[in-house]
Structure 1
Amino acid sequence: MEADATRLRLIALVLAVASMGLVALALLLGAGGLDAELIVVLRAPRVAAAAGVGALLALAGLAMQVLLRNPLADPYVLGTSGGAAMGALLALSLGLSLAFGAALGALLAAGALLLIARRALAASDDASARLILSGAMLAALFGAAVSLLLTITPDQRLRGAIFWLVGDLSGASGGVWCLLGAALLVLALLARQRSVDRLLIGSEAAALLGEPVRRLRLELLVAAALATALAVATAGAVGFVGLVVPQTLRLLGVQRTRWLAPLSALGGAALLIGADLLARLVAAPMELPVGAVMALIGAPVFIVLLARPRS
């Protein structure tokens, strides 16, 4: 037990140091040098947005993996990202708030999933397959809707819309709200840590231990949908964060929600800050879509982690 606690503290320390180092690099490096006004007005809000979005996506991935009892789940597997993207593009076309459209789209996706797979929230371990299939159907439906919206988007907005769908932090704002949302989600998971850990054992086992499985699954689904909506509204569709971060921590031996929740938030923030830093520097003065950079980082790292022999 003492060795496990020491390892967990070491992981937390490494993540904290890496996060602070990446924040410092992201603030200091880039076009324009060390101009104080540039750092405060442009870089600091972007770093805050990257940290908040990364933390939200990692926590949403953790919630999805608990809900489905599947380590390969991420915030996009149940169609919440597609719904948020569709709502955001529709709001953009109508001149409405992007955040409002994304939130409404994500909640619409979550509501549709609940209507389609009501029984999948019951205390049955067969529910995960029904939820995944229903989510895949909704993701395809929302993907088609996004394609249709892109075809009617004016040419002057089309490039920006596509860039945003891939994932873009160049004009991101609202990082404070993302950080606040991530902090609230961490607190919520910590408050229900025993129930979440029991749900990971199995739905039927959790029900026998007196846990309200249906309500807990509903809470996880809504929390993941809201977190994804806020992240998509801020930075567009950035993938792999929610998939890679919680699974990497589990492969490193972090299993309990008490540690997984805060470390997932910290790891997601550090990962997306690093990806955004690469997006700004690799092809400077041009900027790459952070979503594409994240995919180039996340896919190989995840393959290597899966290929590692278990100790």
Structure 2
Amino acid sequence: MHIQDQLQIELKVKIVKESRPVISDLAFFLDMINSLWSILSVLIIAEFVLGSFANGFIAVVNCTDWVKRQKLSCADGILTALAVSRIALLSVTVFYWHAYVFILDFYTLKEVTIVYIAWVISNHFSLWLATSLSILYLFKIANFSCLLFLHLKRKVKRAVVMILWGNLVFLVCHLVVLSTDIKMGKIDCEGNITCKTNLEDIVHLTNLTVFTLANFIPFTMSLTAFLLLIFSLWKHLKRMQLSGKGSQDPSSKVHIRAMQTVISFLMLFVIYFTAELITVWSSFTPLKNLVFIPSQFLSVLYPSGHSLILIWGNKKLRLAFLSFLWQLRCWLKERK
């Protein structure tokens, strides 16, 4: 054996020995990621079950009350529609997670298009109905001397209905842009690399811009409602202190409960919006597989967690839920 060949063999052995710790660390890191993904997947399923139960409970209670009284308030109507839209949103999100993780090969362009359109529609109504609920709380609870506010307060139902109908323009625009993007994606530019790159950049930028605007506008409106509620509460507490009545009057408690509901929506919406934004950005990078499961976990957290908070913050829903738990407890005792 030549000296040169012997040196090459020794060098290869040395490289293998030195690379073993790196390979071991990499395998440990991959095992940790797989374990984390498994835990998050279980949590996604748990969130889906809890969220579906909470939203289904809201819809059933309000529909039952509607049948009994032959009347449904504006707030209960929005809550019911919100619950239905969130059940659809949860179903689409979990279906996408399941298809991506387990049956990715089954996912053709047609299925991707249908699922994404369903997600756009359910996400749109979920966000705007929650925003309308925040605005309804504002007009029902806050007190301002502004003439415009007083006029809208008297016509609050009409104002909310106009908001719900008006935001359909955003949905139509979003679907038109989505349809255009899909058609652009089908254009065959394999022979022209520059054309293909430009189209991919346009599709990416358009989707990101439309998604950001479609989510940022309802968030801004909800944030405005929350800030106005804080200002109204501050003015109310100031009047109570001057009159010597203290801050534990019913109006203050109503203000605080409404603020808790709105701020919970805002906090969960920020998490949801951030997760979806990361998903959109990362879908065009090599990190898309790494961030997909965590982003889906955060996405499911919003429609599930906020609905549970709505149940606890609504007196009728809270009493119905406690009654359900009591009946369930009695039924379990009888079964034993």
Q: Which has the higher helix share?
A: 2
| Structure whose alpha-carbon radius of gyration is higher | 2
The one of the two structures with greater contact order (alpha-carbon pairs below 8 A, sep at least 6) is 1
Give the TM-score normalised by the residue count of structure 1.
0.32
